[in-house]
């Protein structure tokens, strides 16, 4: 093999190894979540299962970190998504949201799913189980619609 | 009966507000048109109309150039909405104001007169909070 190619591979290997020590920390999980949506409201079991499988990794304090989350620089992207996702919508903090924020998040959930924006494509690429079929999408959208009516009239 | 008289009052307020704003700022396209046939009419006091006119309608109205901005918020469409949806939009308006996200920094850097003053932020935010509470019957 060409000497230069060897050097380059060597340098890349060293950088990747070094990155493993300098990578960012994973956003913390939380064990007790008394304000969680599913702990406080009666959500149809199927819908609850879908939310857990397709959304909770990024939108709750109960992220299940996959093996590749230990590997930098992939982990960096992942952690950013989780932080940003939790910031936008955190099912673990649901009860702390004001009524108007709940209404907004329920509306956004319908929009994001309808437009196929959520769950994120980069995520379902690896997590096949998080992909939503059309009928599953409809289930979540209808749940969000009904629940939003309930929240509004509370 | 109470509802109807409230509607008339509200529509009246809006009419005055819109006329005043138009008189003050000819070039602005005022689109906050009263809709008497819905239950979801609400009042825009003159002070609020002025802020919206001066700081928002450049983008969040049909003549705006950014499709993203129009997709996210069109002031004129707010009142025809379902009350729960309206509250959702108001919540976003409140958050954006709290975080100082609008008008976008880039735009403000280019057009400094579009910067929201503290007073304007307060006017718009208190109105959005009040309106959203009213809509939710609180």
Per residue in A95-144, pLDDT tens? 999 999 999 999 999 999 999 999 999 999 989 999 999 999 999 999 99
Task: Answer yes or no: do A152 and B94 touch at CB < 8 A.
Answer: no
B118: exposed, middle or buried (C-beta count within 10 Å: 0-12, 13-18, 19+)? exposed
Closest Cα partner for B136 from B81, B86, B97? B86
Q: Which of B92, B136, B138 sits opposite A104 (nearest CB)?
A: B92
The model's pTM is 0.82
Instruction: Decide: A48 and A38 in contact? Cβ < 8 Å.
Output: yes
Separation CA B10–CA B18 (nearest Å): 12
Cβ pairs bridging A and B (under 8 Å)? 34
Angle at A63 between CA A79 and CA A18, to 5 degrees: 35
pLDDT band for A84, please (50, 70, 90 cuts).
Answer: very high
Mean pLDDT within A6-26: 84
Per residue in B28-74, pLDDT tens? 444 454 444 445 556 788 899 999 999 999 999 998 888 999 988 99
**What ipTM does this complex have?**
0.80
The full set of domain ranges for chain B reads 1-30, 32-135
Task: Answer yes or no: do B87 and A152 touch at CB < 8 A.
Answer: yes
CA B85 and chain centroid, separation? 15
CA distance B101 to chain A (A): 15
The full set of domain ranges for chain A reads 26-153
CA torsion sign, B23 to B26 to B31 to B35? positive
């Amino acid at each position: 093999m060409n000497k230069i190619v060897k050097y380059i591979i060597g340098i890349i290997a060293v950088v990747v190894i070094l990155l493993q020590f300098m990578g960012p920390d994973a956003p913390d999980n939380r064990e007790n979540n008394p304000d969680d949506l599913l702990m406080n409201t009666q959500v149809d079991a199927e819908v609850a299962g879908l939310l857990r499988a397709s959304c909770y990794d990024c939108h709750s304090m109960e992220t299940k970190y996959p093996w590749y989350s230990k590997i930098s620089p992939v982990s960096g992207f992942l952690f950013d998504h989780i932080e940003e996702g939790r910031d936008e919508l955190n099912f673990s903090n649901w009860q702390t949201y004001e009524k108007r924020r709940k209404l907004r998040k329920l509306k956004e959930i319908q929009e994001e799913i309808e437009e196929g924006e959520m769950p994120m494509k980069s995520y379902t690429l690896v997590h096949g189980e998080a992909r939503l079929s059309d009928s599953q999408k409809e289930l979540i959208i209808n749940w969000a619609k009904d629940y939003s009516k309930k929240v509004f009239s509370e | 009966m109470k509802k109807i008289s409230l509607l008339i009052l509200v529509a009246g307020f809006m009419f005055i507000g819109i006329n005043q704003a138009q008189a003050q700022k000819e070039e602005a396209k005022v689109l906050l048109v009263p809709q008497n046939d819905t239950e979801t009419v609400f009042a825009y006091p003159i002070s609020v109309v002025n802020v919206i006119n001066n700081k928002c309608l450049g983008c969040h109205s049909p003549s705006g150039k950014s499709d993203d901005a129009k997709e996210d918020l069109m002031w004129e469409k707010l009142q025809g909405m379902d009350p729960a949806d309206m509250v959702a939009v108001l919540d976003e308006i409140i958050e954006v104001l709290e975080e100082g996200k609008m008008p976008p920094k880039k735009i403000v850097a280019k057009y400094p007169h579009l910067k929201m003053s503290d007073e304007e932020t307060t006017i718009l935010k208190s109105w959005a909070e009040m309106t959203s509470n009213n809509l939710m019957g609180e």
